[in-house]
Amino acid sequence: MLVVVMGVSGSGKTTVGEQLAAKLGWKFYDADDYHSPENRKKMAEGIPLDDEDRIPWLCALHDILRREDLSGQHAILACSALKKMYRRILVCGAIENNQPEQPGENSALKILFVHLDGPIDIIAGRLEKRRGHFMPPELLRSQFDTLEPPSAPENFITVSVEKSLPEIVLEIKRAIFQCEASLE
């Protein structure tokens, strides 16, 4: 099973993803670790990333998820995945129209998206306390402006960041077990 913990910067994606992975014994990946030096520099300078910046990054993340899926591994990815198009890339990858498809290569991944959702004032307070991260608090508004919350037919749950960390992790674990039971 593949899980993407998503939301705006400061929503707790990494903390929740690490805790969840530790509880389940699954692999954990933080999408921030895969940003290009150019993307990191832009964000550190307070410049929001655009689609051109994000698409190669999302394709690389899709490749990681595809590899884990093909090897039968469970994995959790912490990734903002703010737009529906970005989540689609994580699920399907970028398909080049000029290249022939390899069997099974471009089939959609089954991913449960966990949207960590909360009010901007609470998330802004978290960002103000965070040190040593390349994403400045000033970009939070742009993240909320970009956010397209998941909706049907996407496979997702929404979890409030106003809950405690143990409550959030438990809610996600329950959703994962329900998802796994429905796949059997």
pLDDT in tens, 61-76: 999 999 999 999 999 9
pLDDT greater at residue 4 or residue 50: 4
- The neighbour count for residue 80, using CB atoms within 10 Å, is 23
In a domain, 63, yes or no: yes
Domain hosting 46: range is 2-94+105-183
Order of strands across the sheet that contains 2-6: 27-30, 75-78, 2-6, 111-117, 156-160
Cβ distance 57 to 34 under 8 Å? yes
Report the CATH number at residue 171: 3.40.50.300
In a domain, 39, yes or no: yes
Number of structural domains (the chain) is 1
Give the pLDDT band of residue 99 (cuts 50, 70, 90): very low
- The answer, yes or no, to whether the previous bond of 48 is cis (omega within 30 of 0) is no
In a domain, 99, yes or no: no
CA dihedral angle for residue 130, residue 134, residue 137, residue 142, rounded to 10 degrees? -140
For the entire predicted model, the pTM comes to 0.88
pLDDT in tens, 6-63: 999 889 999 999 999 999 999 999 999 999 999 988 888 878 788 999 999 999 999 9
Cβ distance 143 to 8 under 8 Å? yes
In a domain, 168, yes or no: yes
In a domain, 100, yes or no: no
DSSP reduced 3-state for 74: coil
> Residue 19's closest CA among 68, 78, 90, 81?
78
